[in-house]
Chain A
Amino acid sequence: NIQPVERGGDFWTDEDLTPYRDVVTYNNFYEFGMNKDDPYKYSQTFKVDPWSIDIGGECDKPGVYHLEDFLKPQQLEERIYRLRCVERWSMVIPWVGFSLADLIRRVEPNSKAKYVAFETLVDPEQMPAQRSRFSIVDWPYREGLRMDEAMNPLTFLAVGLYGNYLPPQNGAPIRLVVPWKYGFKSVKSIVKIRFTEQEPPTTWNMMQPSEYGFYANVNPNVHHPRWRQDMETRLPRTLFSVSRQDTLMFNGYGDQVAHLYEGMDLARYY
């Protein structure tokens, strides 16, 4: 159990929480399989201790850091964020963790650092889908943010949810949470961080550039070819209740992040 401090204000919502059971059994973590309950079923023996993160690129303090290096001096916070998946479902989750900006400041990126790139663990022994001959993903799973997005106070590194350390299927031991972007930006089980001058390649964009952009901001006006994006299903749902609600621009976090995209054509940079 963790004793985090609550962060109110911009980092809080009064909406009904998605129950713990649903948060830990309905996951997209494709390293463990395609079905929503695969991550829960196939990740329970996943080893997260010891865990280290290789940090490098355009920064003054590169190196292999142990997870404890970041956790020990850090007062962990609890934040309640909406999570919006590009597949049109959403949840409300109480995360525990700390600002990505805190970690970034400690490793002192230099003036060439325009982007941050993240990678998920590659371990076919532990991750069945990485062994599959039919997988079309070029592992490791890669994601990235622009530097100003990464430094935004909303951008979060979660190590827990519901007051406990993260279960493997939710991205243990440390994952990104970027609440105004579609869920796939929030890379799980992070082992590598790089500061780069160029926009880094990202997994879904590499697989299907017409469907997934680098920015992936939640946007009800720009539809994904397979899913309309002006509405979402709040989970959990039952069959006989209307579960749809309107999707908000930047997932409702416009006040905090809209300025990052001033003057950008978001239909082009989706």
Chain B
Amino acid sequence: MGLDGVSTWRRNPQLWLWLRRLVWVLACVPFVLQVQGIVTNTLGADPAKELALDTGRWTLRFLLMSLAITPLREIFSLGSLAPLRRTLGLFALFYASLHFLVYILFLLELRWYEIGTDILERPYITVGFVAFLILLAMGITSPKRMVRRLGKRWKPLHRMVYLAAVLSILHLVWILRTDVFDAVFYGTLLALLLAYRGFNSVRKRTNRPIRN
């Protein structure tokens, strides 16, 4: 076995295909549980608020998981992980869309004038809405056809995921009231992920041969 064995599993396409399928199924579990909660009416006295909280939590978790793929890939030399970044990112968008729909349909009950004042006057809604728009733009431009069409503009657009993540943490911080555990936990994870990228880009720049 030895090194050969290791590199074999690292490059085994069958294994990674199954891993991607597994991730796909697991990523649907929160949604299935939410639907089950609605159907069996076990979400408590205010199911709308419960759904809003749960879809919000899963958006943030998938966003952070998607941002964790690149460091994992580089640290453990797992190039085959790459497609998971897109899968997890799209699931973040999926839960963000549910979050937004729950807000519009069940919390605001379609009173459109309130949406306007909420976005303009309530900073936690403003930043959440901007983060959602960023994820939406990334989702729309994620098919290969769109990547080709956008060309050089694709990368800067998709770098805005960092802004979306920071705004999501801010959105969370502004709704917490008595205990900051969640903000500290998710905020620290994001800080680590951002620090890794910052450190990496500095290293790449300094390693570049200097030409005079």
What residues make up the interface of A, taking CB atoms closer than 8 Å to B?
Answer: 18, 22, 25-26, 30, 33-34, 36-37, 89, 129, 132, 134-137, 225-226, 228, 233, 235-239, 242-244
Nearest CB in chain B: distance from A145 CB, A: 22
Are A136 and B178 interface neighbours, CB within 8 A?
A: yes
Complex interface: chain B residues within 8 A of A137 (CB): 178
Q: Which 5 A-B pairs have the closest CB atoms?
A: A22-B45, A134-B181, A26-B45, A236-B45, A235-B45
Nearest CB in chain B: distance from A141 CB, A: 10
Are A134 and B124 interface neighbours, CB within 8 A?
A: no
* Chain B residue at smallest Cβ distance from A23: B45
Are A134 and B46 interface neighbours, CB within 8 A?
A: no
Are A136 and B180 interface neighbours, CB within 8 A?
A: yes
- Excluding A34-B178, A36-B45, 6 further A-B contacts by CB distance (< 8 Å) are A34-B179, A136-B179, A226-B174, A233-B48, A239-B47, A243-B109
A37-B44 contact, Cβ under 8 Å, with A137-B178, A239-B106: yes
Most buried by A among B49, B124, B174: B49
Complex interface: chain A residues within 8 A of B45 (CB): 18, 22, 25-26, 36, 89, 235-237
A26-B44 contact, Cβ under 8 Å, with A239-B106, A242-B109: yes
Chain B facing A: main interface SS: helix
A36-B179 contact, Cβ under 8 Å, with A134-B184, A242-B109: no
CA distance A238 to B41 in the complex (A): 8
Nearest CB in chain A: distance from B53 CB, A: 8
* Chain B residue at smallest Cβ distance from A227: B122
Most buried by A among B48, B124, B175, B179: B179
Which residues B104-151 have CB closer than 8 A to chain A? 106, 109, 114, 117-118, 122, 124
* Chain B residue at smallest Cβ distance from A31: B178
Are A244 and B109 interface neighbours, CB within 8 A?
A: yes
* Chain A residue at smallest Cβ distance from B108: A244
Are B177 and A34 interface neighbours, CB within 8 A?
A: yes
10 A-B pairs, CB-CB below 8 angstroms? A22-B45, A25-B45, A26-B45, A36-B46, A89-B45, A89-B46, A235-B45, A236-B46, A237-B45, A242-B109
Are B122 and A26 interface neighbours, CB within 8 A?
A: no
Nearest CB in chain B: distance from A195 CB, A: 28
Most buried by B among A25, A30, A237, A239: A239
Complex interface: chain A residues within 8 A of B51 (CB): 239
CA distance A26 to B43 in the complex (A): 11
